[in-house]
A and B are shown apart, each in its own frame.
Chain A
Amino acid sequence: NAGVTQTPKFRVLKTGQSMTLLCAQDMNHEYMYWYRQDPGMGLRLIHYSVGEGTTAKGEVPDGYNVSRLKKQNFLLGLESAAPSQTSVYFCASSSHTGNTEAFFGQGTRLTVV
């Protein structure tokens, strides 16, 4: 069972470069999320989606864009990477919001130099 798969696992970017992180889930979940994890800051929500074709801003959306063209995929884009975006990014999915389990991917470690 693959669950939630993130690609790539590691990436180094130069300031100003762009990239897209891909998240794929095979559980037919409606809801998908992108979090970033920084030391001492916990998990902060970047963007989320409550269904195919819909997206919403989370706590720290600036500098990121997302798309959910297919139910199973949730893409996170960085148009012009900045050193402040150096972080570990986690994608998650759940069948609903509220009192249901969120399943996380293995994470993408991104370094912006």
Chain B
Amino acid sequence: QQQVKQSPQSLIVQKGGISIINCAYENTAFDYFPWYQQFPGKGPALLIAIRPDVSEKKEGRFTISFNKSAKQFSLHIMDSQPGDSATYFCAASVNSGNTPLVFGKGTRLSVIA
């Protein structure tokens, strides 16, 4: 049973456009929702994260929107640049206990000029 469902699997966006990646979760105990960015040949690295006590978090051109009632969260990349081309993973975990991160299947983003 996939605990975190991510869409789309791939995304092509024009330079300067907005990239939107969506994730949905089932476990209501999840209370930490990070996004990881992975460039080819590299390991994933934390991009931005949110906790359910806020509905939005913004860091530069990257914004997480969180909808607790719908059990959904999304990553928005404003003014997308070719350097943003990477694979993006959403994830979720439970703060308490020894539960590792559960990852979505990833979205391959290509930003074209």
Q: Which residues of A contact B (CB under 8 A)?
A: 4, 31, 33, 35, 40-45, 48, 50, 56, 58, 90, 92, 97-99, 101-107
Q: Is the CB of A41 within 8 A of B105?
A: yes
The count of residues in chain B whose C-beta lies closer than 8 Å to any C-beta of chain A is: 28
Task: Indicate the member of B31, B99, B101 with the most A CB atoms within 10 Å.
Answer: B101
Q: Is the CB of B51 within 8 A of A99?
A: yes
Majority secondary structure, A binding face: strand
Chain A residues in 8 Å Cβ range of B80: none
Q: How far is the CA of A71 from the CA of B97 in the complex (A)?
A: 19
Chain B residues in 8 Å Cβ range of A99: 31-32, 49, 51, 93, 95
Chain B residues in 8 Å Cβ range of A35: 103
Q: B42: shortest Cβ distance to chain A, in Å? A: 6
Q: How far is the CA of A41 from the CA of B105 in the complex (A)?
A: 5
Q: List 7 A-B contacts (CB under 8 A).
A: A33-B100, A43-B44, A50-B98, A97-B99, A98-B31, A98-B95, A103-B45
Q: How far is the CA of A102 from the CA of B100 in the complex (A)?
A: 9
Q: Is the CB of A98 within 8 A of B94?
A: yes
Q: Is the CB of A43 within 8 A of B89?
A: yes
Q: A50: shortest Cβ distance to chain B, in Å? A: 5
Contact A102 B46, CB 8 Å, known A40-B105, A42-B103 = yes
- Among residues of A, the one whose C-beta sits closest to the C-beta of B10 is A40
Q: How far is the CA of A81 from the CA of B32 in the complex (A)?
A: 35
- Among residues of B, the one whose C-beta sits closest to the C-beta of A100 is B32
Chain A residues in 8 Å Cβ range of B110: none
Q: Is the CB of B106 within 8 A of A104?
A: no
Q: How far is the CA of A103 from the CA of B96 in the complex (A)?
A: 19
Q: Is the CB of A106 within 8 A of B100?
A: no
- Among residues of B, the one whose C-beta sits closest to the C-beta of A33 is B100
